[in-house]
């Protein structure tokens, strides 16, 4: 990818610069391939992968192998890091998690990646990226926010918090992911953006989403692409890969999220904690009757 030439050590672009940012692939190879096919026609100058390549879906190994083939730059997502923390039995994680059946999907994905020798590359991924283009506004990318990969940035982010983050990073464009819901917000001449998710959208639209940043008149113009793909393959692989059997309830939840294109894992977790319930099949059955709107197929 790329175009132009160099003069005096500075790159001179012969067409408008186009950047692509994809994120939250979450082990969904079919969604990833659909986005990469869409990108081939667009031929962006640079490709960035803004965290969470792995976990949730059945294709973590295949997705890691695929993205490592690309000429891309990465940031670290919380699920990418979770694989490392799990493999190391890190004290950062509550020790009881390692014995809880609810974490079966995480254990399965970690074991698959470890066996394939694919945990190592994740260790090198930074928390944020600051791609620079002479004469163009500063872009900063992070999976959550540059201050923490779990800090969510979305429609609920107050203008005051958005301004704090933009100022702290010296950014005119701040690109986040993590919450699986796309957002473009223009704020005081700057952009606060969420890429949305490739592999597990949570806004009721099952299409794979990603971000384009196109140079226009010395500024960045963002747009969100929505790419349809068939979900039968990835849903079938929950069973044929062994994830559904080994992963138990958490794998069933991740499968349900792809069917509905809605967040279910976090609402279930929060409800179980509030009710003092074990995160088990009995609690899951009760939760499904209480929140039927989360399970409508997309």
Tell me the pLDDT tens digit for each residue of 53-89. 999 999 999 999 999 999 999 999 999 999 999 999 9
pLDDT at 10 over 80: no
Q: Are 279 and 94 in contact (CB under 8 A)?
A: no
Q: What is the pLDDT of residue 35?
A: 98
Residue 240 domain-assigned?
no
Task: Name the domain boundary from 227, 254, 280.
Answer: 227
Residue 232 domain-assigned?
no
**153, 263: one domain:** no
Rounded mean pLDDT of 239-260?
A: 97
Q: What is the pLDDT of residue 15?
A: 58
**37, 137: one domain:** yes
Indicate the average pLDDT of the chain: 94
**259, 167: one domain:** no
Which structural domain, as residue segments, surrounds residue 176? 5-227
Question: In the chain, how many domains are there?
Answer: 2
Task: Name the domain boundary from 196, 227, 258.
Answer: 227
Residue 235 domain-assigned?
no
Stated pTM of the model: 0.94
Residue 259 domain-assigned?
yes
pLDDT in tens, 189-233: 999 999 999 999 999 999 999 999 999 999 999 999 999 999 999
**162, 250: one domain:** no
pLDDT in tens, 265-295: 999 999 999 999 999 999 999 999 999 999 9
**25, 63: one domain:** yes
Residue 77 domain-assigned?
yes
Residue 239 domain-assigned?
no
- The H or E element that residue 104 is part of is helix 104-115
C-beta neighbour count of 296 within 10 angstroms: 11
Q: What is the pLDDT of residue 7?
A: 36
**187, 220: one domain:** yes
d(CA 52, CA 65): 14
**206, 270: one domain:** no
**50, 174: one domain:** yes
**164, 290: one domain:** no
Percent of the chain residues topping a pLDDT of 90: 94
**41, 106: one domain:** yes
Strand partners, 20: 47, 212
Percent of the chain residues topping a pLDDT of 70: 95
Residue 127 domain-assigned?
yes
**48, 85: one domain:** yes
Ordered DSSP codes for 234-248: HHHHHHHTSHHHHHH
**191, 258: one domain:** no
């Amino acid at each position: 990818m790329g175009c132009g030439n160099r003069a005096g050590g500075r790159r001179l672009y012969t067409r408008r610069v186009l950047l692509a940012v994809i994120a939250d692939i979450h082990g969904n190879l079919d969604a990833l391939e659909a986005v990469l096919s869409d990108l081939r026609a667009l031929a962006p100058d640079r490709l960035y992968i803004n965290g969470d390549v792995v976990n949730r879906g059945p294709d973590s190994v295949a997705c890691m192998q695929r993205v490592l083939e690309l000429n891309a730059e990465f940031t670290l997502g919380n699920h990418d890091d979770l694989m490392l923390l799990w493999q190391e039995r890190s004290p950062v994680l509550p020790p009881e998690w390692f014995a809880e059946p609810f974490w079966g999907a995480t254990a399965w994905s970690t074991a698959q990646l470890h066996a394939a020798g694919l945990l190592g590359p994740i260790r090198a991924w930074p928390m944020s990226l600051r791609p620079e283009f002479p004469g163009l506004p500063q872009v900063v990318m992070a999976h959550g926010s540059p201050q923490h990969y779990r800090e969510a940035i979305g429609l609920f982010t107050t203008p005051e918090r958005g301004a704090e983050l933009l100022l702290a990073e010296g950014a005119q464009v701040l690109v986040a992911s993590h919450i699986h819901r796309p957002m473009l917000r223009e704020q005081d001449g700057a952009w606060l953006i969420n890429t949305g998710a490739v592999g597990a959208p949570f806004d009721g639209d099952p299409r794979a989403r990603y971000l384009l940043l196109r140079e226009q008149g010395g500024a960045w113009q963002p747009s969100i692409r929505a790419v349809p793909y068939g979900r039968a393959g990835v849903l079938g692989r929950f069973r044929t890969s062994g994830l559904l059997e080994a992963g138990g309830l958490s794998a069933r939840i991740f499968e349900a999220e792809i069917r509905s294109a809605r967040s279910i894992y976090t609402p279930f977790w929060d409800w179980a904690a509030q009710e003092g319930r074990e995160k088990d099949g009995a609690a899951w059955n009760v939760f499904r009757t209480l929140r039927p709107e989360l399970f409508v197929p997309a």
